[in-house]
Amino acid sequence: MINIPRGTQDILPEETPKWQYIERQLIEIAKSYNYKEIRTPIFESTDLFARGVGDSTDIVQKEMYTFMDKGDRSMTLRPEGTAAVVRSYIENKMHGNANQPLKLFYNGPMFRYERKQKGRYRQFVQFGVEVIGAENPAVDAEVLHMLYHIYSSFGLKSLKLVINSIGDMESRQEYKEALVEHFTPHIGDFCQDCQNRLHTNPMRILDCKVDCEQPAVKSAPKITDYLNDYSKEYYEAVKGHLDRLGIPYVEDANLVRGLDYYTHTAFEMMSEAEGFGAITTLSGGGRYNGLLEMLDGPSETGIGFALSIERLLLALEAEGIELEVDEQLDLFIVTMPETLNEAVKLIADLRMSGIRADMDYLERKMKAQMKQADRLNAKYTFVLGGNELESGIVKLKEMSSGEVTDVKIEEMASYLKERK
């Protein structure tokens, strides 16, 4: 028997309604903020992620699914969504004042070779948004408000929004130099990954899960002490908007995020629900003011976030929240061998009228068909026999109450629509 690849999952029919419900909700919320959907390929040139995500990141060094295509070109299954969206923005010349700010959302599978753990998969579904072409604290606040809106709309309560400012490029560079100076005397105490990061991306040492308790990490300089005046003013303005919007948040000077392209605002949404697990991050994002230029695009700014639907489902489970998913079948038709042909035509007409309907195709006995209607959670059922065809009237049974009503076959669609 061939088994499913390690780190992936089958989403079976009894689970897909939850996914569809969540995806519809996410899309509706994004549209309410005037975001438009963008769809990009699930594989891109490897160079896009090496340049866009960063050569020194764990994603590029350890987690990407990369292959050579038949043209001897290096391709990679997308590990995240932002780089591909920015590539499309540049390639399709979506920049210019008429389009700014351009608000986009995406939803689809991403791929990372990660160690399997609860809520983390090697293929996972990510929903994300990007705003390109507007450097304004109010835009950052809008993105954060949407993130808070999304989780609140599902009834989640045990949330913690963590924010930080990484500053602009000038502030980041000064801070990196300070970190290198601080960490160098202690580098022998760090894990191999952090030793490698010292001169490539020292900020990543701050959120290393292995070395987070090291005294040198706890005593490291704080980015907030290296922000220039513009970065400080920008960060204070973002926090002011969050206060006015009534969005609770906590600040964490060690929050740097795992990708090289972030500047200014960085954030993560966490779950504080009991039983959620050790990895409490639900989603994250930030501003990326230099990414477009890194990918040979115009000097425009961007901000966005991405959330994992798998981890959203985990948070709902941890808080005991059941989604109210309507998957009820409107009608199940109980057929007789002599009326099967007529039933096929009738059910086709009902479906064309927008009725969710099914019928028996196995010529089971009436009692077995009624049990099948019950298993399928049908709201109504009726028997289509010779007498019913002759009279044009069926006895429609409401399964929950057992109430029976005479309904003309020709009026069945309108009758059921009125009771949806």
Q: CB neighbours (10 Å) of residue 256? A: 22
The token pair at 107 is 């939803």
Residue 261 known to bind ligand: yes
- 3-class SS of residue 266: strand
Torsion of CA 45, 46, 51, 55, to 10 degrees: 180
Residue 126 known to bind ligand: yes
Query: Residue 203 corresponds to which amino acid?
Result: M
C-alpha distances (whole Å) from 169 to each of 56, 129, 141, 196 are 17, 23, 21, 22
User: How far is the C-alpha of 125 from the C-alpha of 392, rounded, in Å?
Assistant: 49
Residue 82 known to bind ligand: yes
DSSP structure string for 54-71 = -TTSHIIIII-EEEE-TT
Partnered with residue 297 across adjacent β-strands are none
Which residues make Cβ contacts (< 8 Å) with residue 48, sequence separation at least 6? 76, 83, 84, 87, 295
Q: Which of 113, 154, 104 is nearest to 282 (CA)?
A: 154
Residue 61 known to bind ligand: no
Residue 380 known to bind ligand: no
The token pair at 314 is 């985990």
Residue the block writes with tokens 């606040």? 141
Which residues make Cβ contacts (< 8 Å) with residue 402, sequence separation at least 6? none
Contact 235, 165 (CB under 8 A): yes
Element (H, E) at 127: strand 123-132
Say how far residue 407 (Cα) sits from the centre of its chain: 45
- Positive or negative, the CA dihedral 332, 335, 340, 346 is negative
The token pair at 393 is 């009237």
User: How far is the C-alpha of 413 from the C-alpha of 66, rounded, in Å?
Assistant: 52
User: How far is the C-alpha of 284 from the C-alpha of 227, rounded, in Å?
Assistant: 22
- Binding residue positions for L-histidine: 80-82, 112, 126, 130, 257, 261-262
- Binding residue positions: 80-82, 112, 126, 130, 257, 261-262
